[in-house]
Amino acid sequence: MKEQIRLRPPRRRVERRAVLWWTLRALLPVLALATPLTWAYVAWEASRPWAGPLLALVAGGGLLHTAVMPAWRLSVHRWEATDGAVYALTGWFVREWRIAPISRVQTVDTVRGPFEQLLGLATLVVTTASSSGAVRIGGLDPVTASEAAERLTEITRRTPGDAT
């Protein structure tokens, strides 16, 4: 019997280590903005009165974002790969539910950036014939991502259709 493809919450969570990955990714821009503002504030406090309030805004807002966003995203992010489709739920304020039917899958890859390698994580990238672009599932264990990529590649190879 053919699997019914419908919009539903995916069943699998990403790894808890993804929280640290998202935290580092959120903290880097805050540091990149706060460092020159701190330097301007310390070096030229009298001639740059805007630097103090701007530094407080950047540091406060950035640290609040860094403290809240990763745990929030962990509670939302889900994924699942079945014989009929790849399901992904991502986001934190704006949630995106994606379903990629296997017949539309063109390529399946795993990606491991520097932070992901350091934390033992990987991203599964499922490229489809869609104007929305690839389905990216970050925060996976590298073995899980690799196994999912191999499984999806095999299922896609056996699935009739032209992925367009």
pLDDT in tens, 69-127: 999 999 999 999 999 999 999 988 898 999 999 988 999 999 999 989 999 999 999 99
- H or E element, residue 81: strand 78-81
Q: Which strand ranges, in their side-by-side order, compose the sheet holding 105-111?
A: 105-111, 122-128, 135-140
pLDDT for the residue 2? 55
Give yes or no for residue 68 having a pLDDT over 90.
yes
Q: Is the model's pLDDT at 1 over the cut of 70?
A: no
Give the pLDDT band (50/70/90) at residue 160. Answer: confident
Where do we find the tokens 């950036």?
Answer: 113
- Average pLDDT on 21-46 reads 88
CB crowding 61-94: b at 16 or more within 10 Å, else e: ebeeebeebbeebbebbbbbbeebbbbbbbebee
Going by the DSSP 8-state scheme, the letter that residue 17 receives in this structure is T
What is residue 50's predicted lDDT score, i.e. its pLDDT? Answer: 80
Confidence of residue 162 (pLDDT cuts 50, 70, 90): low
Statement: residue 27 has pLDDT above 90: yes
127-152 pLDDT, tens digit each = 998 888 899 999 999 999 999 999 99
pLDDT of residue 4: 65
CATH second-level architecture of 78-158?
Roll (2.30)
Domain ranges of the chain: 18-73, 78-158
Residue 76 near residue 91, CB atoms below 8 Å: yes
Question: What is the value of pTM for the model shown?
Answer: 0.81
